[in-house]
Chains A and B, each alone.
Chain A
Amino acid sequence: MANGLVRGSARGASPLVHALTCLGRASTYLRWVYLLLGAALVLAFILVQSALGSVVQDLDLPKVAAGILYAVLIAGPPIALGVLPAVREVEGIAVESLLGVRFDERPLGPARTWPQRRRTAVWFCLHLIAGGVVGSLSTVVFGVGAIWLAVPFRSPGTRDIVPGVSYEISGGWSDLWMPAAAVGGVVGLFLLSAAVGALLAHLAPRVLGPTAAERIELLERRTATLAERNRLARELHDSVGHALSLVTIQAAAARRVLATDPEFAETALAAMEASARAALADLDHVLGLLRDDRRTGSQTTPQATLGELDRLVDATRAGGITVDVQRHGELDQLPAAVSREAYRIIQEGLTNAIRHAGRRAGELTVDLSIRLDTSGLRLELTNPVSGTSDHSGGGRGLAGIRERVAVLQGTVVAGLETGADGTLWRLAVTLPVAVTTKG
């Protein structure tokens, strides 16, 4: 309001005229409705309190004790209701649509933490107090106003104009101040309601909205979702997009040379069959990740850690691949974040191995070594590859692994190695770890 007055005078308009312009805005009346909602709630609380109040009266307690009991009776129910998680959600909707406030968190969710529940209770009480004041004033202004507005139309004589107050109606011009006062009262009511509404709208983001820390948390969650989505997009781009362009080009080529070079056409058909099959497997994998995301998104299931490694290895074995696992060090003492990342790195490493093994999956043995010592956590995945095996794609999931490891300031070495047993594909990841003993 003060702000409005300053702006009004700066523009040279009368402050009163400027204040009156708010009577022409829809937001003034929406805010009044929000305050009336508070008043309705106050009425409900008063009904309960008056019933309980008479019980306290009958107890015949000493004055101090009775006073404390009354205070608890008055403040208790609104606070008890205000801390319910759903109140934040409901108030959020009402504040957004009626007070016209835009929160940083949209839509405002139910209160998740105790500080949030406390702040919601504070807001709920503010709503009740402001609503109670404006609501009861509204009753008076409209109730009395209706009687006063009718005064010029009544016959002269002594009448009750407010319950218990009589007034001598003269029947002349001298009575006109009464309808004028009634109109003035209504104008004043809405000016006050606009001011209180503006004050609440100003306070809402601070009291009801997310705090700075909660905003950062929201942002982080959003960033994580985005990063995950980008990763899936890249997976689809790399695997399925690649396979489909290959099929398209081979099919086009086969059609062109069908008559002149049937041998090429047959090879092309075989290549198309193999890539389409690989694309389906990749699609299965990515859709699996999407389903995983939905599960972790609900935050009821935490992401898998190295503790669940056995299940992953069993699943891989079920796919026909032999995994030889060697563990060194007390892996259960790893910080959860590192353990989670290690699990996902191994998961992607194994997926890569399966993908590149292709048809020979049945004969593939992957050696997995996990070693935790003072120098950090070292993961090593090796599997033999045949000379024709194609690793030129740079490892489709390798980009994802590199990103993860970079975040944890670790190192990745991946590539082909020629040893006594032929060519090996080796993925070695080192993650720095500050090992702490569990307290």
Chain B
Amino acid sequence: MNLSVVVVDDEPLIRSGLRAIINAEPDLTVVGEAGDGAEVLPVVRRTGPDVVLMDVRMPALDGIQATRLLLDNLDPPPRVLVVTTFENDDYVYDALRAGASGFLLKRTPPDDIIAAIRTVAGSESLLFPEAIRALALAHAGAQPSRPTGLDEYQLTEREQEVLRLMARGLSNAEIAAELILGLQTVKTHVANVLAKLNARDRTQAVIRAYESGFVPLH
């Protein structure tokens, strides 16, 4: 499967580096670049990529706002993979809450950058489940949300089990093995969970699960 990527960063040398790394893969292609969040929407409209690599801090429009813009204006929107210099960047979690599917450190080795793009595009499993849990934990104090649970969404017992395993980072195939179910059945359950939670993808669903206290952070 060929995947197309758009690279967004205000630093041209970061863009050219990422482009070279991605284009070196036979099945990945960089189809467009943008130097600021404000330029992202037209570029994505024109090129229709599967994945957008989005820098967080940019001068005019930052990565969080640009992510929102993409999700609000495109159907279906591309997967957004946030790229950041530092792990403890407050913006990263905001970007994930805004709808980004995962995040990537700029110091990530190239093989892992490629793997992350594939993971996010395939949406079969959660990217860096441990890091997402850590981020949710770090931000739990800021939002004094009582553990309300997810009762209002009326997930079936099976769907709840599937969501817990999604949070642990298991892929559909791994969930199928764990619960001794068919892969197709798991896919249906995952789709139902996402639909009931009104979540764009696994990342959103898992963040919801953490923030509601449905999956304990500790």
Contact = CB atoms under 8 A, between A and B. Distances in A.
Interface stretch (B10-18, B67-75, B168-176): B10-18
B13 A246 contact: yes
B21 A252 contact: yes
Given A245-B85, A245-B106, A252-B109, A392 B59 contact: yes
Contact of A394 (B11, B35, B59): B59
Contacts of A268: 16-17, 20
Interface in B83-134: 85-86, 106-107, 109-110
A258 to B, nearest CB: 10
Interface string A238-280: 0001101110111011111100110010011001000100000
Nearest to B110: A252
Given A237-B86, A253-B17, A253-B21, A248 B59 contact: no
B106 A248 contact: yes
Nearest to A268: B17
A250 B13 contact: yes
The A contact surface, by secondary structure, is helix
B10 A249 contact: no
A254 B21 CA distance: 8
Given A241-B85, A242-B85, A392-B35, A252 B11 contact: no
Contacts of B86: 237, 241
Given A241-B86, A256-B110, A246 B17 contact: yes
A86 B162 CA distance: 67
Interface in B1-60: 10-11, 13-14, 16-21, 24, 35-36, 59
Nearest to A272: B13
Given A245-B85, A249-B14, A256 B107 contact: no
Given A271-B13, A392-B35, A248 B21 contact: no
Contacts of B10: 392-393
A252 B20 CA distance: 9
Contact of A264 (B20, B85, B109): B20
A262 to B, nearest CB: 12
A237 B91 CA distance: 14
A159 B35 CA distance: 104
Nearest to B36: A392
B11 A242 contact: yes
Given A242-B11, A246-B11, A256 B20 contact: yes
Contacts of B11: 242, 246, 392
A242 B59 CA distance: 14
Contact of A249 (B24, B35, B36, B106): B106
Nearest to A245: B106
B85 A249 contact: no
A275 B106 CA distance: 15
A308 B109 CA distance: 48
A267 B10 CA distance: 19
A252 B17 CA distance: 8
A255 B110 CA distance: 10
Nearest to B15: A249
B59 A249 contact: no
Contacts of A394: 59
Contacts of B18: 249, 253
Contact of A393 (B14, B16, B17, B59): B59
Contacts of B110: 252-253, 255-256
Contacts of A254: 20
A237 B84 CA distance: 11
A112 to B, nearest CB: 37
Nearest to A275: B13
Contacts of B21: 249, 252-253, 256
B199 to A, nearest CB: 30
Given A257-B24, A260-B24, A237 B85 contact: yes
A268 B110 CA distance: 15
B35 A250 contact: no
User: By CB atoms of chain A within 10 A, which of B16, B86, B109 has the most?
Assistant: B16
Interface string A217-255: 000000000000000000001000110111011101111
User: By CB atoms of chain A within 10 A, which of B11, B19, B20, B109 has the most?
Assistant: B20
Contacts of B36: 392
B24 A256 contact: yes
Contacts of A246: 11, 13-14, 17
26 contacts: A241-B85, A241-B86, A245-B85, A246-B13, A248-B107, A249-B17, A249-B21, A249-B106, A252-B17, A252-B109, A253-B17, A253-B20, A253-B21, A253-B24, A254-B20, A256-B20, A256-B21, A256-B24, A257-B24, A268-B20, A271-B13, A275-B13, A392-B35, A392-B36, A393-B10, A393-B59
Interface of A: 237, 241-242, 244-246, 248-250, 252-257, 260-261, 264, 267-268, 271, 275, 392-394
Given A241-B85, A249-B106, A392-B35, 7 more contacts: A249-B14, A249-B21, A250-B13, A253-B24, A257-B24, A264-B20, A393-B59
A-B pairs, 4 with minimum CB distance:
A245-B106, A249-B17, A253-B20, A253-B17
Interface of B: 10-11, 13-14, 16-21, 24, 35-36, 59, 85-86, 106-107, 109-110
